[in-house]
Structure 1
Amino acid sequence: MSKVILVEDDERLASLTAQFLQGNGFEVDVVHDGAHAAETIIESQPDIVILDIMLPNQDGFSICRAIRNEYFGPVLFLSAKDSDFDQVKGLEIGADDYVIKPVEPFVLLARLNALLRRCTTEKKELDTLVLGKLQIDKADRRVYLEGEEVELTSYEFDLLWTLASNAGETQSREYIYKHVVGREYDGLDRSVDVRISRLRKKLGDNLEQPFRLITVWGKGYLCSKSAWQ
């Protein structure tokens, strides 16, 4: 049974959401106040976090930032804030998905299950990928560059693994969305672009002229084979 921490100050909505998820096989803990949410998440280490943005005492963006060095499971923002700015901001600070309220319960369930599948797929395989000074341990879901561990979110790890395991080959947006995000590319979603940008920063790529994770205009992204020496 997967454990969820739901951070939501609307008690009625939180209760309905928790009941629905519990009826679909989840263990759910609810937090109504932002003040102690980060501490609760870090201590509990749930399988997934559902996080509202507009919370009393501490907003969801701040909570997401606060947990990202100590919690590496998936985070899904569930918020009424529907602007492009808020969605991009949520993804840039480490969330794995952003769902706008109101949302049909079964749509939320599908998004949660897609995130959990990304985290657990082939976890038992003892695969290690080495590209020069870049080492990716798929079993432990850890990444090392020049011997130093690079902390990635679950989404970032899956994206890097997809590109690095096909180094030298361009991966189309359609392929990445289907195999990493878990849904078809609609032509508008920019979440993969945000994650690529974050990966470049964490992996010491040149943000102006990337040479490790390369944009192939009109086609997709390519992980260089030789840029990790």
Structure 2
Amino acid sequence: MNKAVHLLIIDDDVSLCELLRHYLSNEGFDVSLAHSAEAAQQWLSANPAPDLMILDIMMPGKSGLELLQILRPAIQVPVVMLTGRGDDIDRILGLEMGADDYLPKPCNPRELLARIRAVLRRSQAPLLASRALELSGIYLDPATRQVSLLDQPLELTSTEFNVLHSLMSHAGEVVSKESLTETVLHRKLTLYDRALDVHVSRVRQKLAEVSDSAAELIKTVRGQGYQFIRTSA
């Protein structure tokens, strides 16, 4: 019998937490709750890491963004943020800090379930192409999900890894934002959706921490998408 996927919901709205726990438990998940960032830190210090965290941005005490900043990169489990509707800056900051996806509140439990399953698919499922890739000093191994640049390990979230893998797999080609969104985020690209752009930006930033020239390997093709530049090196 397969072990149930364990979710940790961190939100100060007790009623919402109980509703989500009831709904997600009926869908086969094992659900734990924490009603503040401080309670979540205590829970995480006393228990094995969950398979995925659902994190509210606005909470008394430490905010969800502050908690996410504390947890990354020490805890690499996938994170789905819950944000106030219209809080674009918070969503972008959350993605930049290592969240995998976001959903505006009040959220529909069915849509949250779909986001959870999509994030788990891309974080747990093996990539179709299992061979390692090595281009321009970047070594990426889908089997172990490890990446290095000039022999220095890179700490990427599961989404960032999949972004880089997809672009490197199509080196020299322009990959449309629509295609990349479906491949990496497992959803259709919608108007004003900047999640993919932020993940690509994060990959560039992490490459630049090792080599400025490596960050330039990922080119934005205006109006079309992104391209991993194939070099002779």
TM-score (norm 1): 0.91
Question: 1:127 is paired with a residue of what secondary structure?
Answer: coil
Rounded to whole Å, the distance in 2 between the matches of 1:128 and 1:140 is 9
Q: What does 1:137-148 correspond to in 2, within 5 Å?
A: 137-148=141-152
Are 2:52 and 2:78, in contact at CA under 8 Å, matched by a contact in 1?
Answer: yes
Distance 2:131 2:180 in 1: 20
Work out whether residues 123 and 140 of structure 1, in 8 Å CA contact, stay in contact via their aligned partners in 2.
no
Equivalent in the alignment of 1:128: 132
TM-score by length of 2: 0.90
8 Å Cα contact 2:204/2:216 also seen in 1: no
Residue 229 of structure 2, aligned match among 214, 221, 224? 224
Structure 1, unaligned stretches of length 5 or more?
none
Q: What are the residue-to-residue correspondences of 1:73-152 with 2, within 5 Å?
A: 73-80=77-84, 82-122=86-126, 126-152=130-156
Asked if the contact 1:35–1:56 (Cα under 8 Å) also holds between the matched residues in 2, the reply is no
1:33 aligns with 2:19: no
**Counterpart mapping for 1:205-224 below 5 A:** 206=212, 211-224=216-229
Contact 2:12–2:35 (CA under 8 A) maintained in structure 1: yes
Contact 2:34 2:40 in 1 (8 A): yes
- Cα drift, residue 16 of structure 1: 1.0
CA distance in 2, matches of 1:100, 1:139: 34
Alpha-carbon distance in 2 for matches of 1:38, 1:152: 22
Equivalent in 20, 23, 31 of residue 23 of structure 2? 20
**Match for 1:63 among 42, 64, 67?**
67
Give the deviation of 1:121 after TM superposition: 2.3
Runs of 4+ in 1 over 6 A off after TM superposition: none
Of 142, 159, 162 in structure 2, the residue corresponding to residue 158 of structure 1 is 162
For 1:193, the equivalent position in structure 2 comes to 197
Shift of 1:125: 7.0
Gaps of 5+ in 2: none
Match of 1:35, as an amino acid?
A: E
- Over 3 Å counting, the alpha-carbon distance change for 1:93 and 1:81 in structure 2 is farther
Structure 2 CA distance, aligned partners of 1:143 and 1:220? 23
- 2: CA distance, partners of 1:215 / 1:132: 18
CA deviation map 1:145-199 (0-9, x unaligned): 1111111111111111110111111100110111111111123211111111111
Cα distance per residue 1:11-46 (max 9 Å; x no partner): 111111111111101111111121142453465221
Give secondary structure in 2 for the equivalent of 1:4. strand
Q: For 1:96 and 1:226, how far apart are their aligned partners in 2?
A: 30
- Asked if structure 1 preserves the Cα contact closer than 8 Å seen for 2:160 and 2:203, the reply is yes
RMSD: 2.1
- Aligned residue type for 1:14: C
